Structure formats: structure tokens, C-alpha cells
Structure 1
Amino acid sequence: MQTGYSATETVDESDKLTGKRGEAVERVAQQIRDAIIAGRFAPGQRLITRELMADLGYGRGTIREALGRLAADGLLDLVPNQGAAVRRFSRQEMQDLFRIRAVLESLAAELAAERINHGDNRRQFQAMLDSVELNEMDSEAGFFGKNLTFHHTILKISGNTELQALLSRMQLPIIMLQVQNAMRTEQFRHSTREHQDIAAAILAGDPERARLSMEAHLRRSGGWVQTLPEKLFSLAR
């Protein structure tokens, strides 16, 4: 029987539809990810599928697939019979993540210092420092966005894409969202001084000092987590 189109054409059309669905899922996942990072969804908050459908203008299947993708990335928990909720870390999980970050981000800082004079790296790094106004990061206003920009820029100029992929799963934004209300002026000042030390070492092209400064910064932050009240954390998994 003549169908009027070939098997190859059918596969191509199927691939196009699959590609469009994949693009829609990624678009929805990114919108939800951005909303979480911006603090519009709090740690532990349930995400209601029908509300997301109304807000984002996509069908149930696309929304659910996007939520599944974000759960696989560690941003959400999928709770049986309850749906998705923004991940809320236990104290142990958060401390474990800071330990891992201390190792990986100290390597990123070391590589950034080694590569500071490669290509456009120095200009990019200095532009970031100017934009975040490192001397003024001693209060909550804008701190979390600036902190994220600082760490991401170091990772970018490290030039190590595998390291970037590993650290993208450490979920710094939602960790900071979970503990931000517990931060006080002294904590902001500690972080600011440590950021200044890290930046100075990178600009000086001193890999060892950059590595040690970043490691000390993240280990101190991990130690601070130990002092926080239990109500900030989920129960241990």
C-alpha cells in the first residue's frame, strides 16, 4: 500500500516533535529553576502542578517532566501522593556539600589564578569584582546574588568544564536561600573579607594562596552551618 510518505520522513517528523517537546520541558525547567533561585519558592514549599500550568502556560505532561528533571538535578524532592517540593537540606547534607565544595572550588580558584592572564580572563574577573562591589558585601542587600556571581565567575575562568558540571550540582543558590535569614552582619563581613583574600590571590596569579583562601572560606562556612538552629533543616534522610 502506498502511504504517500516514507519511513524516513516519519522518523524525521517524530524527531521534530520530540525535539520540540524537549525544548518545552527545558524551558519550563529553567523558568522554575530561576524562580527557586530568585526565592519565589521557599525551601520545603510544595509546587502545585495546576498552578504551574496556569502560570507558565504549558500542559500537565510538560510540567511533570520538567519537575522530574529538576528532581534529578537535586533541586526538588518528589514526594509520593504529594507531588514536588523545593528541596530542603538536612544539616548533615549541607555540611557534606560544603566539604565537597571546599575541595572542588579550591581547585577552581587555583586554576583561575593560573589562568588569570589567559585571554580575556583578567578583564572579566575585574569587571565582576567592580560589579559586585566587594567592599560593600557586608549586608543582606544584594549579597546572595553577588555571592553567586563571585563564585560562578571563578569557576568560569578556571576553564575546566568538568569541574563546572560537577559544581553545578552542588546547589549553592538553594543552600543560601535556606540559611539566609540566619545570617547576621558579622557573617556577611567574614564572607566579604574572605572573598577579598580570594580575589587578591587570583589577581596576583598565586594559585596556592587562591586555593588555600577558598578552602578556608568554605570550611568556615561549613562550620557555621553546625551552629544554626535545628528548625532550619529537614530531618536527616
Structure 2
Amino acid sequence: MVKNNPIGKLFRTAGFILVLVASFFLAVLALRDLTFLTKIIKPVVDFVDGINFAVYKYVYSCLIVGLGLLLWTQNRSYFLRILITLIGIASLCVLGISGNEASTNTFILFFDITKIQFINKLVTDLVAKFKWLPMVSAIVPVFLVYLVLSFKKPERISTSLVSSGVLILVLAIIGSFLPSLVTSTWVTSNVFTQIVAGAFGLSYLLAVIGSIFGVLGMFRR
């Protein structure tokens, strides 16, 4: 059960707004890679491409912060909140040092922990030894957020849709990392690439729809 006090409702709504905005941009960026949708969504793609790069650059940061706010307002366990937040920061550190653009931009927005030399060296050595570490780092915090949202009581359509989107996002992330981990040619085929892009697009669309309901929920008594 989540407290529905005014402050909690305000932060929850802010989280939904950030997820909504970020997911909209990310959905367009993912779906424009689908051949059969290219012409249909071209006006929207042109609009997104026309947005100032400084805004677009930190769209992942908006998504991460938005999900973080939902995490902290949809669960009453301080232990879980702090644990998942710390895991998320550690994951961003691993991904940022391993060259993930979204993580790097997020650190630049706040504090670039990757510039701390001993952390940089430690993570670099670990990534060199365990090739699958970046993928696991990307999956674990996202999956934990999914668990928090999916088991939230009382169940709301907003969190149900967002959590479904987050679960599909986990699968899409796995698919995006497979080409660098598996030698099979099927993971580099155009069909597989289209499937992964579609999964990303679907996950973000569900997050958009769920977030709209979440924002509207602010006016619910």
C-alpha cells in the first residue's frame, strides 16, 4: 500500500511526466527504424529531429529520473528503495565506463563518477573479464523497478501499463546486447534488428499510455 499524501502524489506525478516525455521521444526513435512505419510516422520523426539536441541528449536521464521517482513513491520499503537506487547507480557506472551513451549523458547531468580513476580502472577490468557485465548491469535495475511497479497495491492501470512496458524493455535490452555477446549471424540479421526495435518501441509506447493515466490520476481523489 502506498501513501497517497499530497507530497507523494506530487512526486509521483512528476515521475509520470518525466517518463511520459522521455518515452515519447524514445518510442519515436525506436519505431522509425521499423521499415513498415517509416513513412507513417515521418512527420513525428521530423518533429523529434527538430528538437534542440541539448534536450534530446538527456532524454534517457529523464526516463531514469522518472522511473526513480516512481520507485520511491510506489513502494514503502526504504530498504528496497535505497537498495535499488544504489544498484541503479552502480549499473550506470558500469555502463557509462563501458561506453553506453545513455549512462554517460546521465552522469554528465549530475556527477560524472566515471572520472574517479580507481572506479574507472576497476570497472574497466571487470568489463574486460566479464563481457556480459554491461548487459546484466542494464537489466538488473530495470527488472527490479518492474517488480516494484507490478506488485504495487492497490493496482492501477497506470502502473500496470508502465510495468508492462518496463518488462518488455528488459527483453529489448537483452536483444540489443546479444550481437556483442553471441557469434550467431541471426542476431545481426535485419529481421532480428527489426524485432528488437519493435520491442523498444512497444515498451516505450506502453510507458507513454500508462504515464498519461498516471498524470490524470493526480486529479483523482
TM-score > 0.5 by shorter chain: no
Bigger Cα Rg? 1
TM-score, normalization: structure 2? 0.29
- TM-score, normalised to structure 1's length? 0.27
Higher share in strand: 1
Relative to its length, the structure with more helix (as a share) is 2
